[in-house]
């Protein structure tokens, strides 16, 4: 596609429910990143994929968070048993690969509100 596409763009969920956030990266981009941004804050790195592998999962805030990627394309970020502190915008980004100097392109984000 022309850019990084994320869905849903907005999600309101009840505390304790599970949510799935989807990311379609730019075609041909092997690197895919997930970030979290709380209101008025900077970016918090969650996880990245090179191909379908996630070499570094240390950024995931807790074991309620998981992510997968298939076909070196679509990625899903799953949050189980959501808590109010999970409310944030979840940004997905992609780049050609993870080597140095590649521009990282961001999606519009999935705005999650846990009530």
Partner 1 sequence: ELKVEQNPLFLSMQEGKNYTIYCNYSTTSDRLYWYRQDPGKSLESLFVLLSNGAVKQEGRLMASLDTKARLSTLHITAAVHDLSATYFCAAEDSNYQLIWGAGTKLIIKP
Q: Give whichever of 80 and 105 is closer to partner 1, judged by the CB atom.
A: 105
Q: Which stretch binds partner 1 (CB under 8 A): 14-22, 60-68, 70-78, 106-114?
A: 106-114
Pairing mode, strands 110-114 and 10-13: parallel
Count the residues of the shown chain that bind partner 1, applying the rule CB under 8 A: 19
Q: How far apart are CA 42 and CA 64, in angstroms?
A: 22
Is 104:33 a contact under the CB 8 Å cutoff? Answer: yes
| Binders in 27-56 for partner 1, by CB under 8 A | 41-43, 45, 48, 56
Residue 86 sits at φ, ψ, to 5 deg, of: -80, -10
Interface of this chain with partner 1, residues 56 to 75, rule: CB under 8 A? 56
107 binds partner 1 (CB under 8 A): yes
CA atoms of 1 and 25, how far apart (whole Å) = 8
Interacting residue ranges for partner 1, rule: CB under 8 A: 41-43, 45, 48, 56, 91, 93, 98-101, 103-109
């Amino acid at each position: 596609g022309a850019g990084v596409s994320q869905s849903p763009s907005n999600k309101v969920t009840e505390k304790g429910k599970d949510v799935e956030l989807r990311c379609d990266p730019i075609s041909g981009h092997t690197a895919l990143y997930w970030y979290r941004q709380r209101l008025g804050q900077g970016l918090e790195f969650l996880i990245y994929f090179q191909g379908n592998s996630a070499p570094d999962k240390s950024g995931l805030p807790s074991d309620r968070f998981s992510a997968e990627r298939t076909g070196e394309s679509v990625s899903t970020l799953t949050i189980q048993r959501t808590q109010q502190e999970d409310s944030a915008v979840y940004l997905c980004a992609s780049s050609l690969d993870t080597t140095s100097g590649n521009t990282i392109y961001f999606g519009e984000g999935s705005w999650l509100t846990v009530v």
